[in-house]
Amino acid sequence: MRLFVAVLPPVEALQDLADAVAPVRGLPGADRLRWTAVDAWHLTLAFLGEVPAERVPGLEAALAGVAEGHPAHTLRLAGGGRFGDRVLWAGVEGQDWALRRLAEAVHGAAAEVVGETDDFTFHPHLTLARAGSTRGRRRAEQRTAAGRLDALAQALEGHRGPEWEAAELHLMRSAQDGGAVRHTSLCSWPLARWEAGPP
C-alpha cells in the first residue's frame, strides 16, 4: 500500500482556502498546472511510499504512540509559495513548530517500522497544484515556469484563513482511481489534550 501520514484541515478552513484560490486559477499560466482537488488537500507529515500490508499494524501502533505524546495545536492556512518550478503551495501559520515536532516524531517512528526513509526535511505546506515534468526543459523555460508560479504564489500572499485545531493524526492511503489519485484515511488518532508550549 502507498501510504503517508497527514493532518487534515477542517472543511471550513478548506472552503476558505478554496475561495481564495478560485481567482488565482484564472490568472495567466494557471491553466498549465494540474490542480489538486479540494477533497485531497492535506498537510503531509511523512511520505512512506509502498508499505507491505504485514507492517501496517506495527506502523499503526507506532503512530498511536506518537499521537499520545504530542498535543493538539492551533494552525491556519496562510500565504503561498513554490517549490522550484514544479509545485504551488499554501503556507501554514500558528503553532507550526508543534506541527514540525509532530512530523519529526512521525518520521522517526515510521522509520523504525518500515525501514530506511529519506532524511527528515519538513516544510509545512498544502500542495495546491503541480506543473508538468521539467525534464528536457531549457533553463530559460524553467525560469519562465518559476516566474509563473511566483506570480500565482504572490496572488495568495495576503490570504489568512481561519484558525483551526490540528487535533488528529491520520494514516492515509494513496491510490489511483480511474486516472485520479484518491486519498483515504485508514486510521486516525487524537492528539494529546495538554497545552502545546513554545519551542
Instruction: Please identify every residue annotated as catalytic.
Output: 42, 125
CA 171 to chain centre: 13
Q: Are 63 and 99 in contact (CB under 8 A)?
A: no
Quick check: helix, strand or coil at residue 115?
Answer: coil
Residues 6+ apart with CB under 8 A from 46: 4, 5, 103, 106, 107, 110, 117
Grid coordinates standing for 121?
526535511
CA-nearest of 191, 195, 199, 197 to 166 is 191
**Alpha-carbon span 151 to 54, nearest angstrom:** 46
**Alpha-carbon span 150 to 137, nearest angstrom:** 18
